[in-house]
Amino acid sequence: MRIRSGIFGSIVLGLVALCIAFGVGFAGRGTILKDSKDKDKEGLKQFPQEVVCRDKPKHTPNDVDHKDNLKHSPKNVIIFIADGGGFNHFRADDYYECNQIPCRPCERFPARLAMSTYPVGGEYNAKVAWCSFDYVENGATDSAAAATAMAAGVKTYNAGIGVDVNGNPVLNLLERAEQLGKATGVVTSVPFSHATPAGFVIHNGDRNNYTQIAADMIEESAADVIMGCGHPLYNADGKLTGTSHYNYIGAAAWAGLVNGTAGGDADADGIPDHWTLVQTRAEFQTLAAGLTPKRVFGIAQVYKTLQEDRSGDALAAPYQVPLTQTVPTLEEMTVAALNVLDEDPNGFFVMIEGGAVDWAAHANYSGRLIEEMNDFNRSIDAVINWVNQNSDWGETLVIITADHETGHLTGPGSGQLPEGPVWNDLVANGPGNLPTMEWHSGSHTNSLVPFFAKGPGAQLFKNTIDGYDSVRGPYIDNTDIANVIFTLWHSH
Ligand SMILES: [Zn+2]
């Protein structure tokens, strides 16, 4: 959001002045700061306390040594995206799981940063963000523009899938991995043709063209694994509906998958590589070990989401409404995908999305948010185990981040109070209990999101820092993900 002139501008500037004047008190009150003690210490070293709302001048990226990059070129790249998962979404699950932060191994990864997510023409202004409670509620990206930024390193307009602002296709990481002879895949807990997975595979001017996107993913892409939801025959509870709803995949593409005739030439040998269709939970589980088909299209027997959209009290505590047992977990899908992809001696690229985190956050369903973040985090833990057992941190780069925050999630008592903006911490209520949290929006926000990386090249992200946020610390931009990996996979 740019500050407009006139009355609105005065209000924002007034808040900035207020925020600077009360900078110390503000910083002290916001218990949101607790998790960034180290960052705070650094911040206090770097800035006089009264300018807590002011960020550092834009950092100039360090020179990148391409020989060094080649040495650190990752064989495997695994990107996790919690759709809509802001700092407090991660924290909510930490409190649920451990009653404290940090909780998960990924939170101890060597590269721990924040990341900006705005679409083309936007910005994140760290000077203003913590001086007005509502600042982040304007200028948010959608998942399409964010996926394009992360997959291709190009900012685009909201709804744009793998295209630049003029609608031209832009090379994505999955396509680059294919050029390098790697296996590739996308995995999600929402329809496979939804914006985030689509943005890593194909190119389309409008994210809502689901059936065309699905057809392109199935027939035109060289991906080896596609897993997600969007089944045309099942409802939200995993029951056959008796009718077909070809919303996320068209009838022809579905028939091709069922008949075993779908799928083009994925490995450029002139022979079509047909998809092996996997649907039942048992089939997904079987893929976790042993020999696997070359290309796997896995669609869970459920409509929009694995679990988030199931019936029952959506405001109940986590897992109080029994989970649908006939669909795999995201963790089971993740392990299955890895076992298919890791047979390529050249390595692989995969994007794994906790897609329904966003759906729970849009609806402000706290219990279901925990369920979705929990499955997402278990998927990350499974990948960390996979790296430790089947690979190593010298050849596999793992990134965990989000495409944007959804719901403006805070702890209780937050808001634009008479004395200024207040962001209180979530309240931990013990392991296995829902933390106390407060939603302020049903939409996406322009908040910074977390970024964790470990493996070859992870430290290079520290060379792409765009600014310093007084609460979240140094932040990169979502375009840096693709641009750093393109650099690591340097073309000669
Ligand atoms: Zn959303």
| Ligand 1 center from residue 334 Cα (angstroms) | 22
Q: What is the pLDDT of residue 13?
A: 36
Q: From the CA of 491, how far away is ligand 1's center (Å)?
A: 34
Largest alpha-carbon pair distance within the chain?
Answer: 68
How far apart (Å, rounded) are the C-alpha atoms in residues 178 and 159?
25
Closest CA to 151 of 67, 228, 221, 63: 221
Torsion 201-202-206-210 (CA) sign: negative
pLDDT at 298: 98
Contacts of 475 (CB under 8 A, 6+ apart): 113, 114, 115, 116, 124, 126, 448, 451, 465, 466, 467, 468, 469
pLDDT value of residue 339: 97
Å from CA of 191 to ligand 1 middle: 13
Q: How far is the CA of 401 from the centre of ligand 1 (A)?
A: 15
431 Cα to the center of ligand 1, angstroms? 28
Distance CA 163, CA 147 (A): 11
Please report the pLDDT score of residue 259 as a whole number.
Answer: 97
Instruction: Answer yes or no: are the C-beta atoms of 362 and 442 closer than 8 Å.
Output: yes
The answer to whether 354 and 379 have CB atoms below 8 angstroms apart is yes
Q: 49 C-alpha vs ligand 1 centroid, how far in Å?
A: 36
Residues contacting residue 446 through CB under 8 Å, at least 6 positions apart: 1, 117, 118, 122, 124, 135, 136, 137, 138, 139, 140, 141, 404
> Which alpha helices (H) appear in 30-158, and where do they start and end?
37-46, 66-71, 87-98, 126-129, 143-152
Using the mean position of ligand 1's atoms as its centre, give its distance from the Cα of residue 452 in Å.
21
Q: Which tokens belong to 158?
A: 């909201």
What is the 8-class DSSP label of residue 216?
A: I
Contact at 8 Å (CB) between 342 and 177? no
CA of 454 to the centre of ligand 1 (A): 27
**Centre of ligand 1 from the C-alpha of residue 363, in Å:** 10
Contacts of 371 (CB under 8 A, 6+ apart): 307, 308, 318, 319, 323, 360
Residue 171 CA to ligand 1 centre (angstroms): 24
pLDDT at 69: 52
351 Cα–ligand 1 center, Å: 18
* Measured distance CA(217)–CA(196) in Å, rounded: 13
pTM, full prediction: 0.88
Q: Distance, CA 212 to ligand 1 centroid (Å)?
A: 21
Query: Is 240 within a domain?
Result: yes
Distance from the CA of 289 to the center of ligand 1, in angstroms?
A: 34
Question: Which residues make Cβ contacts (< 8 Å) with residue 153, sequence separation at least 6?
Answer: 170, 479, 480, 481, 482, 483, 486
Tell me, in angstroms, the distance from the centre of ligand 1 to residue 356's CA.
Answer: 9
Low-confidence ranges of the chain (pLDDT < 70): 1-71, 491-492
Plot region of 473 (φ>0 → left; ψ -120 to 50 → alpha; else → beta): left
CA 282 to centroid of ligand 1, rounded, Å: 30
pLDDT given at position 396: 98
Beta-sheet strands, E only, within 355-461: 396-402, 405-406, 415-417, 420-422, 444-445, 449-454
Whose tokens are 């995993």? That residue is: 238
Give the per-residue pLDDT at 490: 85
Q: Ligand 1 centroid to 360 CA: how many Å?
A: 9
Residue at 1 is within a domain: no
Is the residue at 25 inside a domain? no
Our count of domains for the chain comes to 1
CA dist., res. 78 & res. 90, Å (int):
19
What letter would DSSP give residue 72? Answer: T
Contact criterion met (CB below 8 Å) for 304 and 236: yes
What is the separation of C-alpha 200 from the centre of its chain, rounded to a whole number of angstroms?
12
Structural domain boundaries enclosing 178 = 68-413+429-488
Spell out a b/e string for 101-118, using b for 16 or more CB atoms within 10 Å of the CB, else e.
bebbebbebebbbbbbbb
**For residue 405, how far is its CA from the centre of ligand 1 (angstroms)?**
9
- What is the whole-number distance in angstroms between the Cα of residue 407 and the centre of ligand 1? 9
Q: Residue 6's pLDDT is what?
A: 34
Q: Is residue 288 part of a domain?
A: yes
Residue 287 lies in a domain: yes
Question: Ligand 1 centre from 118 Cα, in Å?
Answer: 14
Q: Is the peptide bond before 431 cis (omega within 30 degrees of 0)?
A: no
The rounded Å distance from CA 444 to ligand 1 centre is: 6
| Segment holding 373, helix H or strand E | helix 366-390
What are the backbone dihedrals phi and psi of residue 441, each rounded to the nearest 5 degrees, phi first?
A: -160, 155
How many whole angstroms separate alpha carbon 34 and alpha carbon 249?
Answer: 45
Location of structure tokens 């029952």: 312
The CA 60 to ligand 1 mean position distance, Å, reads 32
CB burial readout 401-419, b (16+ within 10 A) else e: bbbbbbbbbbbeebeeeee
Q: What contacts 235, CB < 8 A, 6 or more positions away?
A: 241, 302, 303
Q: How far is the CA of 415 from the centre of ligand 1 (A)?
A: 22
CA of 137 to the centre of ligand 1 (A): 13
In a domain, 50, yes or no: no
Q: How far is the CA of 197 from the centre of ligand 1 (A)?
A: 14
Q: How far is the CA of 83 from the centre of ligand 1 (A)?
A: 7
CA of residue 408 to ligand 1 center, whole Å: 12
The predicted pLDDT at position 44 comes to 28
- Asked if residues 297 and 276 have their Cβ atoms less than 8 Å apart, the reply is yes
Residue 445 CA to ligand 1 centre (angstroms): 10
Parallel, antiparallel, or unpaired for β 405-406 and 444-445?
antiparallel
| Ligand 1: centre distance to CA 362 (Å) | 6
Domain annotation covers residue 177: yes
Distance, CA 265 to ligand 1 centroid (Å)?
Answer: 33
* 327 in a structural domain: yes
Burial class (CB in 10 A: 0-12, 13-18, 19+), 65: exposed
For 459-477, write each residue's pLDDT tens digit: 999 999 999 999 999 999 9
Which CATH number belongs to the domain containing residue 372 in this structure? 3.40.720.10
